[in-house]
Copies of this chain bind each other. A is one copy, B any other.
Amino acid sequence: MGDTLLGQRVDAIRRLARRGHPAPLAKVVAKARAEDVAAVIGHLAAQEQRLVFAQIKQDSVAADVLSRVHGDDFFHLVTDVPPERVAALLTHLPGDDQTDILERLPEAVREAVMARMKGDERAEVEELLGYAPDTAGGIMSPTAFTLRDDSNCRDAIAAVQEASDQELIYYAYVENEAGLLVGVTSLRNLLTHPPSTRLVDIMSRDVILVRTETDQEEVARIAGRYDLLAVPVVDDAGHLVGIVTVDDVIDVIKEEAAEDMLLMAGVRQHDEEHTGNPLWAPAKRLPWLFVTLLGGLGSSEILHQFAPLTGGDPVLSLFIPVVMGMEGNVGIQAATVTVRGIATGRIDTALAKSVGAEVFNGAALGVVFALVIAGYCWLRYGAPEVAVSLAVAFFAGMTSASFVGTAVPLTLRRVGVDPAIATGPFVTTAMDALGLTIYLGTAALLLKSTGA
């Protein structure tokens, strides 16, 4: 009991797995929760992972563990398991977890496993596999605790008592004769009203619901906004077809946050997840680095254009890194704040307000840093033209970097692209070119006019 003892058990599993002692390992594994075994597996090498998994005696626990491990770890566990065994393990899981596991299997294995499933389970899974994985249909659990609108509290409690253990009862949903979802009430409400109370008299008719095709991010936003433990999912006709439970909502929120963050750094989601080939991970980062490379070569072409100028004034080149670094950073800050604002729903119609605020920030920071850099340049090298060019480049560059950093994600979102997508590399690249051009362009004008 308690968090320290829990941690000790986790450590014990890890230690025994590393030493490869199956007998004592089996003992500790038998006492641990499936969640802990799954968490430990994430920290082990492939060989140790299979050793731990093999020690799980109960099929229901093994199935639960399998549904909780991610990425490569999942593949390490299932690689040598025959399709019959996977099919047997799946019978212990609810429909949404079955679908989740099947989706992650290579197609040939998936078909072999499904061929060995029982008819009704296979039919359910086939239906769930028909929904896009990032929609309400794709993450919902296909069972919901449903009652007819002519029942009373007594009937409802009897139904709870008779429901199978697998059925998740977060709320009691009420449907009418035509099978349409017309109301919802809580388990607690059923208890606090007299047994003969009709459900229609205590249910809420204003049901917050989503459709099977609703994006999972929207489902998570709705669950979060209304503090729901489960969100009912209806089909086009308005029939209740499942519920998205709060544990799946948490997974979606984590997944989307990770996706946003990795996308901003130009790493495609699930880089580190995914099977086999070690060259897969670097290969997936290659495209965005290519964008950066092209941007960098663009900058080198700009420098090439200004070569006579920089060749004539050695101090000018020294500040190229600082111009690029500052503007890229300001742009990334603006982009990050904007992407977060979009994700949390704070930026929406408040678009002009957001752009205005960020551009103001950029301009204010631009004034401060323009003075600092110009002062430094003057004191260090006594080059007035370079100092003025730096001041202009810092002020104009940081202001426009803020604008670009806010405008790019908002524009991407308008055209239906995930705003986080490579906002980092794109903004940095655009800023580099713009910053250099302002800096060297100003210097060219000044040095020409002073005849230097």
Contacts and interface: CB of A to CB of B under 8 A. Distances in A.
A229 B254 contact: no
**Stoichiometry, copies per complex:** 2
Contacts of A249: 250
Contact of A321 (B260, B300, B318): B300
A123 interface: no
A339 B265 CA distance: 12
The 6 closest A-B pairs by CB, nearest first: A296-B322, A257-B257, A299-B321, A265-B336, A282-B364, A227-B247
Interface string A279-297: 1011001101100110111
A289 B169 contact: no
Given A289-B326, A289-B330, 14 more contacts: A1-B206, A1-B207, A33-B226, A42-B346, A224-B247, A249-B250, A253-B254, A262-B337, A266-B333, A267-B336, A272-B341, A286-B365, A296-B323, A300-B319
Interface of A: 1-3, 6, 14, 33, 35, 39, 42-43, 45, 70, 157, 160-161, 169, 187-188, 191-192, 205-211, 214, 218, 222-227, 229, 246-247, 249-251, 253-254, 257-258, 260-262, 264-267, 271-272, 278-279, 281-282, 285-286, 288-289, 292-293, 295-297, 299-300, 303-304, 307, 310-311, 314, 317-326, 329-330, 332-333, 335-337, 339-341, 343-346, 348-350, 353, 357, 360-362, 364-365, 368-369, 372-373, 376, 424-425, 428-429, 432, 436
A317 B325 CA distance: 16
A271 B253 CA distance: 22
A314 B314 contact: no
B267 A337 contact: yes
A372 B265 CA distance: 22
A317 B336 contact: no
28 contacts: A1-B205, A1-B206, A3-B222, A14-B349, A35-B227, A42-B345, A223-B250, A229-B229, A261-B264, A261-B340, A262-B337, A264-B336, A265-B329, A265-B337, A272-B341, A278-B357, A289-B326, A289-B329, A289-B330, A289-B365, A292-B329, A293-B373, A297-B376, A300-B322, A303-B317, A320-B321, A321-B321, A332-B424
Contact of A292 (B157, B210, B247, B326): B326
A324 B292 CA distance: 10
Contacts of A365: 282, 285-286, 289
A48 to B, nearest CB: 11
Nearest to A299: B321
A257 B252 CA distance: 13
B209 A325 contact: no
Contacts of A286: 365, 368
